[in-house]
Structure 1
């Protein structure tokens, strides 16, 4: 829901600009001009609808990722080297943070954001990139600077909203993805640029200072490690997670890998079908929407295939979802994502995998019995 709040904020800014333009027009044409009155009324209605949407969205609980900055730093150093080699670009990495601090971010989402920024810089003709972390009082700041072509003021105002890039060849989707992902994480992003000198992308993520929340996260990590070191039905099993939200995929990947699963993630339904065919997952976790279709549409395709139909499928929902609507889904179980109870989720997945194993053994025994009787 943080993504929705960010979108609401952006729309509010656009409406504020529209109000200012309307005031200027009213000075030129007169306040009683019919088009001025119509435009003013339309803006006022939009503001009311936006306020209502903001009120509704604030009541929906959403789990945000929470990770220690030092853990992110530890996992990131070698990834930066790999990205430098992959994109054939010089990357200077500065991260002098040596203090334990917890931030609303995870490695999966951060990797995606970094990759998009590096790719954008490369496409802009950059040869060098600086990735710099700074720990502030209330937030973690990440600056990504490049020496590419830069942008003029007109393009800079449109960046992050999917508009055509300055050279006219791109569609600005890379920056739109960055903006969407950062807002979904509850953070903020802004770009500054000078033509022929380069661009800086400044990202800010909230620091968590509530000791109760931090201790709960530490406890979850500790319990996940204990489960991972014990013999369970989940250990080593391939679990496919499909959702349009990179943030949610990151949370699931951290959790599932923590309890010993081999996690595969995907944002598109069509691509997920190929992954099922290629990787033969033992279980599938799905959100309500994918990037290219709804999970309800996708399940109809999957359940029509007898080989896919046998794979246990779990739908994860939020408090805002309509319970009656869920009756349309052909699934084995449901998980409440708003109340992310690690222990209950682990038990549900383990129970389904054990059940699948038992059914497989029965089918195998039946097959062997048929073979013997037919002989």
Structure 2
């Protein structure tokens, strides 16, 4: 791919031709503020926070709409650009409610962060703010607060470009603009929670997480979704060993920044009454005693045993299982898909975005390590 060399704030960088200035800067450690831009959505240039000065160009240009060019000279932090950013933030905040103390987005809000970094000025607005709908139910999962909305249109673009359901649109004009469902529709998009992830403010919030916990109190753990064979990268947000929220972890090669609704609901409501501890003949025992008992039974009954492999097992667990099967001499080895698609649950069987028809995470690993295992589904 052809490479292009340009200067940004005096620093010479080289990026592939066609790269947008905002992406070129971020790849080289230079952050340009934004609200409407998202790397996995088409740019629209409507928030004007990402304006930069380009040498020989009479006016600042939106970096999310301008591709790099050979020899281009870009300035991202001039006095003129700083004043423009402050003015845009003041304009956005004119009708924005002071909901931060009760807003679920507090602590990870782009508007909060960028106000503190690029403005910090006191408000000069003394007029009455525009009042809008604060409890607009987008179906059974999402609540929309029109007063908090800055009409960045990320959510609208998501339903048009990614999930392709075209469920959302912007109505009215100027300070009366708001996001709404298409007439007569409900927001039953299988990826509806994704709009809450990409919303830069607290305008779109998931009902299951509203007013449950502050984000700075949550412990974040990287993981892989086991809802199907796609292997989406995810984060678990937990506190006191309880899952409060599940959100996608960006991986451009697998799931980008998306994940399906079914997986989130699946983890937020985990199975109850799971086995805890060891029992031998219904009597409580220790793990060491349990392992010794299992080892003795395996040695004594190897020829009469059948081994059933779970497609929920990791490759490491399957490798250990293979060692056990070979060392003990177990002949009857079977495999089983622990979960299959059930139409009655409302789950999507498969699609062209993320949802895989195989509803278990690692049947591929089972088939690789145990190619001769018989299927008992």
Normalised by the shorter chain, which TM-score bucket? under 0.3
Q: Larger relative CO (CA 8 A, sep 6+): 1 or 2?
A: 1
Q: Kindly indicate which of the two structures has a greater share of residues assigned to helix.
A: 1
Normalising by structure 2, what TM-score?
A: 0.23
Normalising by structure 1, what TM-score?
A: 0.23
CA radius of gyration, larger in: 2
